[in-house]
Amino acid sequence: MTTETSRRSPLGRRAFLAAAGTAVAAAAAVPAVRALTGPDLPTDRPELPGLPELATTDTDGLRVAELVAASAGPGLVYNGSSPGPLLRLREGDRVRVDFTNTTDAPSSLHLHGLPLTPDVDRPLEHVMPGGSSSQEFTVTPGCAGTYWYHPHAHGDVERQLLAGLAGPVVVTGPADERPGLVEADDRLVMFTVSGREILANGVRRPGTTVRSGLTRLRLLNATAGDHLLLGCVRRDRSRPPLHLIATDAGLIERPHRVQEILLAPGERAEVLVETTEAGPLGLVRLPYSVHGPGGEAANDEETLLVLDVPEGLAPVPLPDHLAPVEELDPATAVRTRRVVFDAAPDGAFTVDGRVFDMDRVDARADLDTLEIWEVANDHAADHPFHLHSYPVQVLDRDGVPEPFRAWRDTVNVPAGSTVRLLVPFRHGGGRTVYHCHILNHEDLGMMGVLEVAG
């Protein structure tokens, strides 16, 4: 995607922005149902593997997990597998994650999305071959959701991820015990990429038989740079709705009905799907263009996973309430900060016209303040904005207010558009980063340093 994305839009700037605005509104709210082409539900399919769970040891109430990055033939693995093992945590757990790098290149372990303070996350620190590091923290109450881990060694992140270094994290909490969620068949679906194929839990186009009339899909986009527009389709081409229950950084207040969901690289979403009508139900990747409306889609429609619904599953009512999401008051923001994504004519990807320099602080903020970040994308392709340590809420997209409150850590900023975020700085200051989560762009310098004082 490198060469196409550095190309400038041939359209005039105004026309381009106007056109892009329409798409943003559509993508952000409830996207229109689009016409699907012929049925694409493969019949002989491998089983969707459950990812192995990472065993932890318990010492005096501290749960210790160990992850080792290693070479395996041409690839890279965490604890011998790719995707890496599932790290399952519970809100309130005291945890230490020990990481050892036995590969031959500097690497690191970033727990993407977990609200860790900058001194625990340390995204600028590399772990040399043979070296190790530890992160100790308490899992923040209220953050139950789907997260992941991957390397963060600047300049080499995309290569290491594509070689196999990525694994899932699931945090559970009291909200998961609500009626509607307890009965649901809870499935983690982690998308990675191999060559040009999108894999689900490491397998191409798997299937699985669901066990409840309500299926909870924890969708995790762990590709290096592929936007995934996802929807469900039955064999007769009818489209059951998806009930969005969680964004990146946890549960939302109540299910929000959509037909499709766009997951930018790095982003997660959880949906409930009613699975009472017997037969195959495809989770499909729909065509999506990162070049705005009228742009050429990077992909054709493709089934990524088939849910086989057996006869006789009783319906399960949807939960009516999930979890409170704090209301932030934009009037209390201490400043509005503009962050501009762009690409330079020489092919560099920039933030505010500059490429990343780890010794330069690009943004200074104060702990216990709220800021509005106006993230503008002046480029002709989408770029997903990701901020470490501080979960954000979307205020509006090109002026269109966000239809529901939600915590996020990765937010797609479509070509030519502006997304305003509410950014509260809490729990601890320090030096951290914000960047585009298309890893090739991040490696090429589309990243800035944030220092939170206090």
* Interface ranges with ligand C2O (CB under 6 A): 110, 112, 123, 150, 152, 266, 386, 388, 433, 435, 437
Q: In the complex with ligand C2O, which residue's Cβ is closer, 158 or 185?
A: 158
Where do runs of H (alpha helix) occur along 164-235? none
Q: In the complex with ligand C2O, which residue's Cβ is closer, 123 or 207?
A: 123
The nearest distance, CB 163 to Cu ion, in angstroms, is 20
Question: Counting contacts by CB under 5 A, is residue 256 touching Cu ion?
Answer: no
Position 444, amino acid: L
Which does residue 388 touch among ligand C2O, Cu ion, none (CB within 5 to 8 A, set by kind)?
A: ligand C2O
Which does residue 112 touch among Cu ion, ligand C2O, none (CB within 5 to 8 A, set by kind)?
A: ligand C2O
And the tokens for 365?
Answer: 């903020």
Q: Which helix (H) or strand (E) holds 18?
A: helix 13-28
- Give the footprint of Cu ion on residues 99-138 (CB under 5 A): none
Burial class of 124 by CB neighbour count within 10 A (0 to 12, 13 to 18, 19+): middle
Which does residue 397 touch among ligand C2O, Cu ion, none (CB within 5 to 8 A, set by kind)?
A: none
DSSP letter (8 states) at residue 392: B
Where do runs of H (alpha helix) occur along 73-210? 118-121, 157-162
Which does residue 45 touch among ligand C2O, Cu ion, none (CB within 5 to 8 A, set by kind)?
A: none
Position 247, amino acid: T
Contact 303, 284 (CB under 8 A): yes
Contacts of 208 (CB under 8 A, 6+ apart): 47, 48, 187, 305, 306, 307, 308
Max Cα distance, the chain (Å): 63
DSSP letter (8 states) at residue 249: T
The nearest distance, CB 271 to ligand C2O, in angstroms, is 21
Which does residue 441 touch among Cu ion, ligand C2O, none (CB within 5 to 8 A, set by kind)?
A: Cu ion
Binding part of the chain for Cu ion, among 120-128, 132-140, 302-310, 430-438 by CB under 5 A, reads 430-438
Handedness of CA 350, 351, 353, 357 (dihedral sign): negative
Q: Map residue 5 onto helix, strand or coil.
A: helix
Among 126, 187, 383, 420, binds Cu ion (CB under 5 A): 383
Q: How many residues can be counted in the chain? A: 454
Binding part of the chain for Cu ion, among 22-30, 99-107, 327-335, 439-447 by CB under 5 A, reads 439-447
d(C-alpha 81, C-alpha 164), whole Å: 8
Q: In the complex with ligand C2O, which residue's Cβ is closer, 266 or 424?
A: 266
Binding part of the chain for Cu ion, among 285-293, 319-327, 410-418, 431-439 by CB under 5 A, reads 431-439
Question: Counting contacts by CB under 5 A, is residue 441 touching Cu ion?
Answer: yes
The nearest distance, CB 446 to Cu ion, in angstroms, is 5
Which does residue 449 touch among ligand C2O, Cu ion, none (CB within 5 to 8 A, set by kind)?
A: none
Q: Map residue 120 onto helix, strand or coil.
A: helix
Judged by CB under 5 A, the number of residues near Cu ion is 4
Which does residue 436 touch among Cu ion, ligand C2O, none (CB within 5 to 8 A, set by kind)?
A: Cu ion
Among 219, 290, 309, 438, binds Cu ion (CB under 5 A): 438
d(C-alpha 369, C-alpha 366), whole Å: 6
* Beta-bridge partners for 233: 282
The nearest distance, CB 157 to Cu ion, in angstroms, is 12
Please give the residue ranges that form the binding site for Cu ion (CB under 5 A): 383, 436, 438, 441
